[in-house]
Amino acid sequence: MTTETPLVEARGLHTWFELRQWGFLRVGAVRAVDDVSFTLARGEAVAFVGESGCGKSSLVRTLLGLHRPTAGEVRGEGRDLASLKGAELKAWRARVGYVQQDPFGALPPFLDVRRILAEPLRVHGVRDRAERERRIRAALAEVHLTPVEEYLGKFPHMLSGGQQQRVVIARALILEPALVIADEPVSMLDASVRVEILELLRGIQRDRGLTLAFVTHDLATVRHYAERIFVLYAGKVVESAPVEALLDAPEHPYTRALLRVLSDPDAANATRLREVPPGEPPSLIDPPAGCRFHPRCPKAIGGRCEVEVPSEVATAPGRRVACWLYAPERE
């Protein structure tokens, strides 16, 4: 394998969930991910940002190989994930670590920390007990659960939320993955603990040079913890850009709307009425034609935005936006 191959490459990715009536009649589909393309380079930290139901979790779960794409493909280290079976699929899953949103729900309540961390090693064929123990201790030390002896015998309910999330991270790292997917890793945690966990993830990502794909609904947390952002709306990526550029000068009307309603804590916010686009995100079963944001968009161009789906346009190096406002003139 050459180092030129991106770690993950998604092309025209669709992840739809079929809706059936009486168990067999196909009546439609939830278009959770609808024609999304991107590449993740080795060693970079990216964030997928969007509101609930925009398809961000379905997207990363497709990268994990948990959902099979309905159309399009995802390549992991150059190989089409849909073609992987049995041992090969298992090998890909060892290359990807997954950090869930709710640490308590993600940890089996009846196993202690040692057994929780031993499980992936056993499944992936680390038979030597001493070797397993060595790796478990190393993983706990890496997530700063020290002294290690104090945590090995604990059950999840004996740990705080932050400690539980550290165990989840240790479990995600123990097979030495190339990619770690963290789906809202801090949204269930308290403000004072959030930063600790984000710093930990980012630190490990840098030290190990792995790729971190981090899913969040909170734009305020991305500045220091990702290099690139993908903004999703109703199953599509509407804008992607380097973090600073996007936060300082958003381009897509949706991203602009988001950043207009958010601000840093300030007493003046209490009397500031926010400009909120009307309406709500569309149903993913029957999304609007054309640009999915057009019914709410203050800048919608009549005759175009509600008719044609905008394609992505590069507006600067590393920066793309799917919006007709940025389309080069035609004819």
Interface residues with another protein (CB under 8 A) are: 51-52, 160-162, 190-196, 198-199, 217, 219-221, 223-224, 247-248, 257-259, 261-277, 280-281
CA neighbor of 98 nearest in space, from 63, 50, 123: 63
Least separation in angstroms between residue 190's CB and another protein is 4
Q: How far is the CB of 188 from another protein (least distance, A)?
A: 9
- How far out from the chain centre does Cα 181 lie? 6
Least gap, CB of 133 to another protein (angstroms): 28
- Own/partner contacts of 149-157, CB < 8 Å, gap of 24 or more, are 151/113, 152/112, 152/113, 152/114, 153/112, 153/113, 153/114, 154/112, 154/113, 155/109, 155/110, 155/111, 155/112, 155/113, 156/103, 156/104, 156/107, 156/108, 156/109, 156/113, 156/116, 157/104, 157/109
Smallest gap from residue 224 Cβ to another protein (A): 5
263 vs 311 by CB, closer to another protein = 263
Which one, 160 or 311, has the nearer CB to another protein?
160
CB of 270 to another protein, least distance (A): 5
Q: Report the nearest approach of another protein to the CB of residue 197 (Å).
A: 9
Number of H helices, E strands in the chain: 10, 12
CA-to-CA distance for 16 and 329, rounded, in angstroms? 33
